[in-house]
Amino acid sequence: MRKIQWKKGNGSMLLGALICALGIFLMAGVAESINLFQASVYAQTRADLIADGSAAYGMSYDNTLDEGKVSLMSSLLLASSADFDNPISMRLNHQAIADNKVHVQVTTEREFWFPRSGQESTFQVTKEAVTQVISP
Residue 7's pLDDT is 64
Instruction: Kindly report the pTM of this predicted structure.
Output: 0.77
What are the residue ranges spanned by the domains of the chain?
A: 10-132
pLDDT 10s per residue in the chain (136 long)?
Answer: 677 665 666 777 788 889 999 999 999 999 999 999 999 999 999 999 999 998 888 887 777 788 888 888 888 888 887 777 778 888 888 888 878 888 999 999 888 888 877 778 888 999 999 988 887 6
Number of H helices, E strands in the chain: 2, 3
The answer to whether the beta carbons of residues 47 and 134 sit under 8 Å apart is no
